[in-house]
Amino acid sequence: MNAEALKLSSQEQAELLNISPDYVRISMAAAIELGLKPGRIHGCGCGCINLLQNYPEGCFANCSYCGLARERPGLAEENSFIRVDWPLFSTELIAEKIAEKEAESTVGRVCISQVQDHRANDDMLEITRRIHSAAPGVPLSGLVNATTMDVPFLKQLKAEGIDIIGYGLDAVTEELFIKTRGKEARGPHDWDYHWEMVRAAREIYGPMNVNCHLIVGLGETDRDLIDMFYKLKGEEIAGYLFSFNPEEGTALQHQERQPIQRHRRIQLAKYLIEEKDLEREAILFDEQDHISAIESEDAMVQESIDTGLPFMTNGCPDRDGAMACNRPYGSYRPGEEYRDYPFKPTGMELNVIQDQMQLSSATK
């Protein structure tokens, strides 16, 4: 983005640079699902059409792990988001393709994601209207930026047809949030205000219609994550797990990913807490506050593993209540091991999971 272009008005920028609300980015898997890009997704389809606002400056936040971070080198339009390419199309074309897909079968859900920009709220409303005008029956989620939220706007989003609100909390402790997203990262985000907006949305949208994205591997302990799972469960707020994966050019580009064993144990513990009402005292930790054992009935634990459900992607449901947002390639690339499965793992896949988790040392 050159200096002259930045001097243009918002309308002139929109016409010159293909920015929101007239243009939006779409995840590569969703672009394949709608026929906007060639390709095939291994093992599944893409249940949720994930859209992302687009501005010439990128995002004004500066989260230390994010490919859209303000201080990441390079042009904003060339940056990735959760290591995935997000091709740019007109909002009108995407809305048409969603309507075509809806007429053929159904679209599980559409999720519109905000970035940090002074235009983001108004454009969120406009994009929502255009999608719902083309496909009125499609469920809509808003992955919103808490820093620019307020209660009247949350109510307005609901009135426009958004039925689920998501927040990128990401860090599970206040200290880590400040370090990776707040003032220590030269970012605008505030822990207390995020929670104020999470709880405000919970009051407006109802139980389990608000979710917080949580990243495993930013520097938290397993105990930190377990504490957050119980906190969210107690407030009837959904928690969606993501796996940290370093992106080149970000502040955390040299931080290593967490071992797959750790991720599998956390996934299992989260499922047992949410679906089997596992008591907090049943989860034991070692000296580093990592899960060392789960004291529960072996049959219940093994039955949970055998369903494959603990290891699937966490995401918003479709209109029938089945998980829609499976985010293919969100935590892996072709040829890489799955961190979360965009489909229900069975057979040999469950054998791999069992080996990865080393269950004999994780349960009693």
pLDDT of residue 80: 47
Among residues of the chain, what percentage have pLDDT more than 70? 90
Over residues 208-234, the pLDDT tens digits come to 999 999 999 999 999 999 999 999 999
- Rounded Cα–Cα distance for residues 167 and 239 (Å): 10
Give the pLDDT mean for 322-340: 85
pLDDT of residue 122: 97
pLDDT of residue 347: 95
* Host domain of residue 212: 10-263
pLDDT of residue 82: 46
Counted residue by residue, the chain has a size of 364
pLDDT of residue 42: 80
- Rounded Cα–Cα distance for residues 107 and 121 (Å): 24
Confidence of residue 358 (pLDDT cuts 50, 70, 90): confident
Report yes or no on 123 lying in a domain.
Answer: yes
Report yes or no on 345 lying in a domain.
Answer: no
SS3 content of the chain, % helix, strand, coil (to 5): 40, 15, 45
Report yes or no on 169 lying in a domain.
Answer: yes
Q: Answer yes or no: is pLDDT of 3 > 90.
A: no
Q: Which residues contact 66 (CB under 8 A, 6 or more apart)?
A: 59, 72, 81, 247, 250
pLDDT of residue 351: 95
Give the pLDDT mean for 292-300: 90
Report yes or no on 69 lying in a domain.
Answer: yes
The model carries a pTM of 0.91
User: CA–CA distance from 274 to each of 135, 170, 226, 343 (Å)?
Assistant: 33, 19, 11, 20
* Alpha-carbon radius of gyration of the chain: 20
Whichever domain contains 52, its CATH number is 3.20.20.70
Report yes or no on 195 lying in a domain.
Answer: yes
Report yes or no on 132 lying in a domain.
Answer: yes
The identity of residue 350, as a single letter, is: L
**Sign of the C-alpha dihedral computed for residues 166, 172, 175 and 179 taken in this order:** negative
Domain count, the chain: 1
Confidence of residue 269 (pLDDT cuts 50, 70, 90): very high
Over residues 158-213, the pLDDT tens digits come to 999 999 999 999 999 999 999 999 999 999 999 999 999 999 999 999 999 999 99
Report yes or no on 53 lying in a domain.
Answer: yes
Report yes or no on 323 lying in a domain.
Answer: no
pLDDT of residue 9: 62
Over residues 106-165, the pLDDT tens digits come to 899 999 999 999 999 999 999 999 999 999 999 999 999 999 999 999 999 999 999 999
| 43 class by beta-carbon count within 10 Å (0-12 exposed, 13-18 middle, 19+ buried) | middle
pLDDT of residue 6: 54
Q: Assign 357 to helix, strand or coil.
A: helix
